[in-house]
Amino acid sequence: CGIYGVIGVKDAANFVALGLHALQHRGQEAGGIVAYDHETGFNSARRFGYVRDHFTKKSLMETLPGDNALGHVRYSTAGAKGNTAIRDVQPFFGEFSLGGCAIAHNGNLTNADSLRKELINRGSIFQSSSDSECIIHLMARSIHKNHTNRIKDALSRVEGAFAVIAMTRTKLIGVRDPRGVRPLVLGQIGDGYVLSSETCALDIIGAQLVREIEPGEMIVIGPEGIESSFPFERVSPRPCIFEKVYFSRPDSILGGQSVYETRRQIGIELAKESPADVDLICPVPDSGTPAAIGFSHESGIPYGMGIIRNSYMGRTFIEPSEQIRNMGVRLKLNVNRALIEGKRVILVDDSVVRGTTSLKIKEMILDAGAKEVHFRIASPPTMWPCFYGVDTPDREQLLAATMTEEQMREHMGVASLKFISINGLYRACGVKSGRNATSPEYCDACFSGEYPVEPRDQIAKGFEM
Ligand code: 5GP
Ligand code: SF4
Ligand code: MG
């Protein structure tokens, strides 16, 4: 998901709409905005679909007046995959004796099931099926007299991954979980401030990046300025490495590094690790593009757009059902026959999940007359589900969890299939010595199976680590 908050800017909701539009790649199912205005109080709107289809309409935006606003774009993960109800769309809102508070959450709480049971038993009335709603109910039960401390209380009870933005009548509050699994940045625009999942959404409104919120940090932006604190027990940071591989936009800066440059470096590492004698390097657009550029640069083999993407389709994986996902590849990608014909080709993609994309693309490329097809993948084999806010299927559906690399190559029917090594990936992500096996610098559980936070709810449901 993507989260975005603005404080101290006239007609803040319009800026939030733009920010959410820039974060649309993080969630395309639905979006919501809550705005606060001194005269009319808190107002909100939630809609299914793209931000640009709703939050550009004057009639809707006029219902969201005020200098402070908070928004969220949603894609459903572990909880309610693919059947989002409008009541699941964030931000969530709670009216407390001390005034209202809206909350937007990116990530996934790993103890939400047990928390929800406990809260319901004690009288909480849940409105949605979302794990994030627990935060509001925990806040409601806190005995503290101000929102900031109530948020601290609430977030001390939850486990897992959370980047949270909260908005009260006078404050915008940003918090990252102790490991900083999901990203959050602070920006400035005039006298106002912005909190955003990614820096690309600062650029769109002309805001300047101030800095990243640190893992475990809470920042409170209010009339007295900005206060920073670290309310949780300190642990080693483990930001999500898959943000760098795929999830974040390439024009964002993440952990002080350009995401584009990281991906290009992944391609360079891949070319060093797994070269092949071919005529052409092609990305699987768009997610494989920077890595393909790096691969071509390192190998000296020409780069070409052998696959053309129809930009009017969303990301295939966000389509919830298998049937639509299967069609999706063909709806979205087409082969550039004139370039491919008669050539030996390396295709570079970011990841193999179920293997549907790669299989279809290989067929399309061979149909178009390629002589040989090789795959190079910009991440290690995806062998484990993510329980921290990225939608990966169960293990049975993960190709790499059920097959060896050689079996996958055979299954795909390609001349060669190589994944970047975990150390190569870490090097590309700025850890020159490679992954520290005893204390890894990133979360890489979907590749390593080493979960930095115990997936408590999943284990209760029978998941075996
Ligand atoms: P596959 O077709 O192998 O299931 O999906 C791989 C493609 O889906 C990749 O090209 C990648 O761009 C995209 N993808 C990236 N991340 C994810 C993810 O977390 N889950 C899923 N299902 N697909 C992803
Ligand atoms: Fe990111 Fe993978 Fe960790 Fe999920 S399991 S947070 S996708 S690195
Ligand atoms: Mg892709």
Domains of the chain with CATH codes = 2-236 (3.60.20.10), 243-460 (3.40.50.2020)
Residue 73 has phi, psi (to 5 degrees) of -115, 135
Predicted interface score ipTM higher than 0.85:
yes
**pLDDT score for 323:** 67
**pLDDT score for 347:** 98
Q: What's the CA-to-centroid distance between 404 and ligand 2, angstroms?
A: 21
pLDDT tens digit sequence for 115-152: 999 999 999 999 999 999 999 999 999 999 999 999 99
Question: Reduced to 3 states, what is the DSSP secondary structure of residue 100?
Answer: strand
How far apart, in whole angstroms, are the C-alpha atoms of residue 366 and residue 47?
41
Residue 142 half-sphere exposure, CB side, CA atoms within 13 Å? 23
Question: pTM for the full model?
Answer: 0.95
pLDDT tens digit sequence for 25-38: 999 999 999 999 99
Tokens of residue 156, six digits: 């001390």
How far are the Cα atoms of 24, 56, 208, 281, 350 from residue 312, in angstroms, in the given order?
A: 13, 18, 30, 24, 20
Q: Whose CA is nearest to atom 24 of ligand 1?
A: 317
Q: Whose CA is nearest to atom 4 of ligand 2?
A: 386
Q: Where do we find the tokens 């849940």?
A: 126
pLDDT tens digit sequence for 240-285: 999 999 999 999 999 999 999 999 999 999 999 999 999 999 999 9
- What lines the ligand 2 site, CB under 6 Å? 181, 240-242, 386, 388, 390, 443-446
Residues in binding site for [4Fe-4S] cluster:
240, 386, 443, 446
pLDDT tens digit sequence for 218-246: 999 999 999 999 999 999 999 999 999 99
Residue, of 330 and 324, whose pLDDT is higher? 330
How far apart, in whole angstroms, are the C-alpha atoms of residue 13 and residue 203?
16
How far apart, in whole angstroms, are the C-alpha atoms of residue 415 and residue 409?
8
Query: Cβ(155)–Cβ(161) under 8 Å?
Result: no
Residue 401, exposed/middle/buried by CB under 10 A (0-12, 13-18, 19+)? middle
Q: Which residues pair with 253 in a beta bridge?
A: 258
**pLDDT score for 316:** 47
Among candidate residues 1, 17, 27, 22, the one with its CA nearest the CA of residue 70: 17
Residues known to be catalytic:
1
Q: Which residues contact 140 (CB under 8 A, 6 or more apart)?
A: 94, 96, 124
Mean pLDDT of the chain: 95
Q: What's the CA-to-centroid distance between 246 and ligand 2, angstroms?
A: 11
Residues in binding site:
240, 287, 349-350, 386, 443, 446
pLDDT tens digit sequence for 364-403: 999 999 999 999 999 999 999 999 999 889 999 999 999 9
Banded model confidence at residue 78, pLDDT cuts 50, 70, 90: very low
DSSP state of 263: H
